[in-house]
A and B are shown apart, each in its own frame.
Chain A
Amino acid sequence: MNKTRTRTTTKTYELRLYVAGHTAKSLAALANLKRICETHLAGQYRIEVIDLTKTPELAVGDQILALPTLVRRLPEPIKKIIGDLSNEERVLVGLDVQPV
């Protein structure tokens, strides 16, 4: 796949971050995600944070098991990254995003 073209074409990354309350891991994951997106996907992303302690029924839909889990809902296909997203390189690979 031509990563450059993917990047240049304007498409939105619809991302969903599943967390469980305000744990250290949750906070770290959200901070890491925001930083990576701002760096590499500025203006092309939307982040939705779902706290499963408040809405546990949502866990089934995306087959959430590990937390935190980042789900790339768009563009398809769906991709999942588990962990606190501390490794930027792997997050980019997981999201299929060419680093800037």
Chain B
Amino acid sequence: MNKQTSPRATLGLPKAPTGITGLDEITGGGLPAGRPTLVCGSAGCGKTMLAMEFLVRGAAEFGEPGVFMMFEENAAELTANVRSLGFDLDRLVKEKKIALDHVHIERSEIEETGEYDLEGLFIRLGHAIDSIGAKRVVLDTVEALFAGLPNHAILRAELRRLFRWLKNRGMTAIITGEKGEGNAITRYGLEEYVADCVITLDHRVTEQISTRRLRVLKYRGSVHGTNEYPFLIGERGFSVLPITSLRLDHAAPAGRLATGIARLDEMLGGQGVFRGSSVLVSGAPGTGKSSIGAKFAEAACRRGERALLFAYEESSAQILRNMRSIGMDLAPWVKKGLLQIYASRPTLSGLEQHLLAMHDMVKAFRPTVVVVDPISNLTIERSDAEVMPTLMRLIDFLKQQQITSLFTSLTTGGSGTNAAEDSQVGVSSLMDTWLLLRNVEFNGERNRLIYVLKSRGMANSNQVREFVLSDAGIDLVDVYLGADRVLTGTARVAQAAHERSAAKLRREDHERKLRQLAARRKAIEAQIAALNAQGEAEAAEVKFAIAQESLQETTTQQNSAAMAQLRGGSKGGNAPKRGSR
């Protein structure tokens, strides 16, 4: 529900938009129109800034001129103070959009005698309102009158009358007040008179980091966010970061974005991450998180897109140098204006302050890819409960701009334990893709492993890959899965060599067997030949024996015939006789 443009859309109570980022969302459209609102808090918590921005934005953006009546600073001081936020009061005053009136009361100059009232204040205010046709009024800090005027009974009665008078004139007013002692909202109990809307501001320092918080204590006739919301006073004025503005309705583009590491894209369903999604890369020190981040940014630059790199550990020069060592030269992209590196100390300011800086830079640079390296540094002094909403705001903001974001996170977990996962549970639920880098120590080396722990909405690899950084760049290599452990680094290389030699041996063995077989076959063949030859020889012998025998028989016959002839003697021999037998 965006009430900023239609303040009167709320049922019943008309509202005056403040134009302050976030505040209109908490209050459902702005402050109650035509009524006074009390803004209170301790010194230096930003009351005047809130009031001033309400007035300036009203005059400049919503066509509602305003009167700023100040009781502490004078006009020149105020003008100078708000100029640092980019408000040109002099111009607005000249254009009759804003009237400034400094009410100064010096106790020592004043003698009190008899009855009086504060009609002079009414007249001044009325005159200022009429001179510019004001719709908004700020009284900053009206409580200063308590120090200037001795008769508090009169003052209280007059203030009550003043607030009623403002209401009757239909002024949307902000009255600021100092926080009182203990539980008192204001020092002089102004909340008794201004009962429509009360906003408290707070400035807290926890672990040496300051955070400003805003809370709508009361808003008569309207629903409002009741939480404490962090707010910031930045270069663009006041901004409240309401968690309620987290509407989970950002578009989900189906387009994919390559991570710049081909094998990693392969692990993520072959196409990389979704556009507008958030990626968490977590791991122990020295696992290569920053390199992945830088590669991610570089890949965007290669595609001609803009990338913004927030560095909270290294200076930009250091990043350029270090990335060069893995064959990645980022300097040309910086020169081309496609890559912007914003390095700052995480302890420089609170998380919210960083968040605001990020907002501003993202809005100004309009990148498609944002890398935050690392978020764990930002969250170093904070508990998870505090960090979560802030990161949620950041991620949501980026998603709404359809910016793909990559966050690296340092985990304390060493090698092999589950600590790496445990320590990130709070943040990881906000992330669409979570890559875990892990050191594996084995065989006298540390090697890097990468897993895809989760990746919403895509088929992702369940495999562990070895993550190799070399001067040629980043690469992912299949690991060897041994008996019950993964082999990486030289162990992987050794295993590969081992497997190669084993294969060679096997090949040789096969060859040898084949040769043996051939030899045996030859031997058998030779045997067969020998047997054949023997067979033939035996056959020949048999033939010979037969031939011999038949020859013998013939010879015997011939001999006997011859003998018979010889026995038959002189007349024609015995043979025919014998033959005639």
Are A and B part of the same complex?
A: yes
Chain A interface residues toward B at CB < 8 A: 18, 20, 25, 28-29, 32, 52-53, 56-57, 59-60, 63-69, 77-87, 90-91, 93-94
CB pair B114–A87 under 8 Å, yes or no, is yes
Name, among A18, A65, A83, the residue most crowded by chain B CB atoms within 10 Å (CB to CB).
Answer: A65
On chain B, the residues within 8 Å of A90 by CB distance are 111-113
Q: For the complex, what is the distance from the CA of A67 to the CA of B122, rounded to whole Å?
A: 10
Chain B interface residues toward A at CB < 8 A: 101, 103-105, 109-121, 123-124, 126-127, 145, 148-149
Q: How close is A29's CB to chain B, nearest CB, in angstroms?
A: 8
CB pair A20–B127 under 8 Å, yes or no, is no
* A67-B117 contact, Cβ under 8 Å, with A56-B124, A60-B101: yes
Q: For the complex, what is the distance from the CA of A82 to the CA of B305, rounded to whole Å?
A: 70
On chain A, the residues within 8 Å of B113 by CB distance are 81-87, 90-91, 94
CB pair B116–A20 under 8 Å, yes or no, is no
CB pair B110–A64 under 8 Å, yes or no, is no
Q: For the complex, what is the distance from the CA of A91 to the CA of B109, rounded to whole Å?
A: 13
CB pair A53–B116 under 8 Å, yes or no, is no
CB pair B115–A20 under 8 Å, yes or no, is no
Name, among B111, B148, B149, the residue most crowded by chain A CB atoms within 10 Å (CB to CB).
Answer: B111
On chain B, the residues within 8 Å of A80 by CB distance are 109-111
List, sorted by A's number, 26 A–B pairs whose CB atoms are closer than 8 Å: A25-B116, A53-B123, A56-B127, A59-B124, A60-B124, A64-B120, A64-B123, A65-B105, A65-B118, A67-B119, A67-B120, A78-B109, A79-B109, A79-B111, A80-B111, A81-B113, A82-B110, A83-B116, A84-B114, A84-B115, A86-B114, A87-B114, A90-B112, A90-B113, A91-B111, A93-B111
Q: How close is A31's CB to chain B, nearest CB, in angstroms?
A: 12
On chain B, the residues within 8 Å of A83 by CB distance are 112-116
Question: B150's closest neighbor in chain A, by CB?
Answer: A82
CB pair B116–A52 under 8 Å, yes or no, is no
Q: How close is B120's CB to chain A, nearest CB, in angstroms?
A: 4
Question: A56's closest neighbor in chain B, by CB?
Answer: B127
CB pair A84–B101 under 8 Å, yes or no, is no
Q: For the complex, what is the distance from the CA of A64 to the CA of B127, rounded to whole Å?
A: 13
On chain A, the residues within 8 Å of B105 by CB distance are 63, 65
Q: For the complex, what is the distance from the CA of A67 to the CA of B148, rounded to whole Å?
A: 14
CB pair A67–B124 under 8 Å, yes or no, is no
Given A66-B119, A81-B113, A91-B113: 8 more A-B contacts, CB < 8 Å: A60-B101, A63-B105, A80-B111, A83-B112, A83-B116, A84-B115, A85-B114, A86-B113
CB pair B115–A18 under 8 Å, yes or no, is no
On chain A, the residues within 8 Å of B115 by CB distance are 25, 28, 83-84, 86
Question: B115's closest neighbor in chain A, by CB?
Answer: A84
Q: For the complex, what is the distance from the CA of A56 to the CA of B113, rounded to whole Å?
A: 23
Q: How close is A77's CB to chain B, nearest CB, in angstroms?
A: 8
CB pair B127–A57 under 8 Å, yes or no, is yes
Q: For the complex, what is the distance from the CA of A28 to the CA of B115, rounded to whole Å?
A: 10
Q: For the complex, what is the distance from the CA of A95 to the CA of B118, rounded to whole Å?
A: 21
On chain A, the residues within 8 Å of B121 by CB distance are 65-66
On chain B, the residues within 8 Å of A82 by CB distance are 110-113, 116
Q: For the complex, what is the distance from the CA of A94 to the CA of B112, rounded to whole Å?
A: 8
Of B103, B111, B120, which contacts A18 at CB under 8 A?
B120
On chain A, the residues within 8 Å of B116 by CB distance are 25, 66-69, 82-84
On chain B, the residues within 8 Å of A81 by CB distance are 110-113
Question: A52's closest neighbor in chain B, by CB?
Answer: B123
* Nearest 7 Cβ contacts at the A-B interface: A94-B111, A56-B127, A83-B114, A86-B114, A84-B114, A64-B120, A90-B113
Question: B149's closest neighbor in chain A, by CB?
Answer: A66
Q: How close is A25's CB to chain B, nearest CB, in angstroms?
A: 5
Q: How close is A71's CB to chain B, nearest CB, in angstroms?
A: 10
Q: For the complex, what is the distance from the CA of A56 to the CA of B145, rounded to whole Å?
A: 20
* A59-B127 contact, Cβ under 8 Å, with A25-B115, A67-B117: yes
Q: For the complex, what is the distance from the CA of A20 to the CA of B118, rounded to whole Å?
A: 10
Q: For the complex, what is the distance from the CA of A77 to the CA of B123, rounded to whole Å?
A: 26
Name, among B115, B121, B123, B148, the residue most crowded by chain A CB atoms within 10 Å (CB to CB).
Answer: B123
